[in-house]
């Protein structure tokens, strides 16, 4: 098939390579413009290396963007990680329209941090969807879904890189074949089950030690590696990445310790007292320093994290 890929970053590059490796023709690549001085987007660099035309537009609704897509005369558009708004006037130009990847089981977890939130909320399952883009955010009919279990110690990084990334690329290939063969079944999303969460950013990633250790551990896992769950110590920010949950019958008080107080230094890190147990911090970053093992962070027993 003859394709146009609209994508960004490593996922977009992987989609480009996957379609080309199996013999499809990628007629053009659309990628968001980079900030001045920034490194080239990986998909742009790869397309230029292969001699594939690259298009960068501030707005896909512009006459120039629409003309560029029309001139490519492709069978199908593939949206592989796209942060710009892409209107219907653009996505309907290819002969068989456009399909889009989203890393959740739509209609749940629409929005930009759709991998973080199922982990933060303590869910045991997430997944990915291939759907038809419409002007509403992540609202189009679904063509294909793949389920991904969330293990008790999975993180944002492990769910994405070990599961959703590779399965998402394979699902784009599968869905494209279904569309071109006329066998794709489009299922309208049930708005009664729809949820939307915004970015998981700094404000959402702050740890509240008065919460149960289950909640704290889910937050740490769902923000590892980005944006990094954090707390404060002696006026400095402490980001916590790798960690371990230790459940114990603390009832809020253990040997007079406060919630958020460092209980002990361990062979790998340090433990922090919370509701219902402890969090053992295995890897962290203090202020603007490098990521280090918890045991090497210089956090002393008795320190209060806030």
> Are 52 and 159 members of one domain?
yes
Over its C-alpha atoms, the chain yields an Rg (Å, rounded) of 22
> Are 210 and 159 members of one domain?
no
Number of domains in the chain: 2
Helix residue ranges, H only, the chain: 9-21, 42-50, 63-72, 88-91, 116-120, 156-159, 165-180, 213-222
CA–CA gap between residue 146 and residue 298 (Å, rounded): 43
Could you list the beta-strand ranges (E) of the chain. 2-7, 25-30, 54-55, 76-80, 98-102, 125-131, 142-149, 229-233, 236-240, 243-247, 262-265, 270-274, 277-281, 283-286, 292-293
> Are 147 and 245 members of one domain?
no
Specify the pLDDT at position 257: 87
> Are 99 and 182 members of one domain?
yes
CA–CA gap between residue 39 and residue 269 (Å, rounded): 35
> Are 106 and 13 members of one domain?
yes
Specify the pLDDT at position 248: 85
Q: Which domain holds residue 152?
A: 2-193
pTM, 2 dp: 0.94
* pLDDT averaged per 10 residues, the chain (length 306): 98 98 98 93 97 98 98 98 96 98 98 97 98 97 98 98 98 98 97 96 96 97 98 97 89 72 96 95 96 96 96
> Are 186 and 213 members of one domain?
no
Q: Is 144 exposed, middle or buried (0-12, 13-18, 19+ CB in 10 A)?
A: buried
Domain final position from 130, 163, 193? 193
> Are 186 and 212 members of one domain?
no
The tokens describing 226, both together, are: 């980005």
> Are 179 and 234 members of one domain?
no
Please, which residues have CB within 8 angstroms of residue 133's CB and are 6 or more apart in sequence?
79, 86, 91, 98, 99, 100, 140
> Are 26 and 95 members of one domain?
yes
> Are 214 and 241 members of one domain?
yes
CA–CA gap between residue 168 and residue 160 (Å, rounded): 10
Closest CA to 241 of 155, 118, 152, 126: 155
DSSP 8-class letter at 280 = E
> Are 289 and 263 members of one domain?
yes
Please, which residues have CB within 8 angstroms of residue 270's CB and are 6 or more apart in sequence?
262, 263, 264, 280, 281, 294, 295, 297, 299, 301
Specify the pLDDT at position 250: 57
The tokens describing 216, both together, are: 């704290």
Phi-psi region of 53 (alpha: psi -120 to 50; beta: other; left: phi over 0): beta
Q: What is the CATH number of the domain that holds 189?
A: 3.40.50.170
């Amino acid at each position: 098939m003859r394709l146009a890929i609209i994508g960004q970053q490593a996922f977009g590059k992987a989609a480009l390579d996957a379609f080309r490796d199996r013999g499809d023709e990628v007629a053009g690549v659309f990628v968001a413009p980079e900030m001045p001085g920034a490194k080239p987007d990986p998909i742009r660099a790869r397309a230029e290396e292969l001699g594939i035309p690259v298009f960068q537009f501030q707005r896909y609704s512009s006459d120039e963007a629409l003309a560029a897509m029309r001139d490519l005369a492709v069978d199908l558009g593939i949206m592989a990680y796209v942060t710009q708004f892409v209107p219907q006037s653009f996505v309907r130009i290819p002969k068989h329209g456009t399909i889009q990847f989203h890393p959740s089981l739509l209609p749940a977890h629409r929005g930009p941090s759709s991998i973080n939130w199922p982990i933060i909320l303590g869910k045991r399952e997430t997944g990915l969807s291939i759907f038809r883009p419409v002007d509403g955010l992540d609202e189009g009919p679904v063509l294909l879904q793949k389920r991904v279990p969330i293990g008790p110690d999975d993180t944002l990084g492990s769910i994405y890189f070990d599961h959703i990334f590779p399965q998402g690329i394979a699902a784009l290939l599968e869905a494209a074949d279904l569309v071109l063969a006329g066998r794709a079944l489009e299922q309208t999303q049930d708005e009664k089950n729809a949820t939307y969460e915004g970015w998981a950013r700094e404000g959402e990633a702050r740890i509240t030690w008065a919460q149960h250790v289950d909640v704290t551990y889910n937050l740490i896992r769902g923000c590892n590696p980005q944006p990094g769950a954090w707390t404060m110590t002696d006026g400095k920010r402490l980001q916590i990445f790798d960690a371990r949950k230790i459940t114990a019958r603390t009832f809020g008080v253990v040997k007079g310790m406060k919630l958020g107080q460092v209980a002990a230094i361990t062979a790998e890190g340090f433990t922090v007292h919370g509701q219902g147990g402890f969090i053992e911090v295995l890897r962290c970053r203090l202020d603007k320093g490098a990521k280090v093992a918890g045991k090497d962070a210089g956090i002393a027993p008795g320190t209060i994290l806030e």
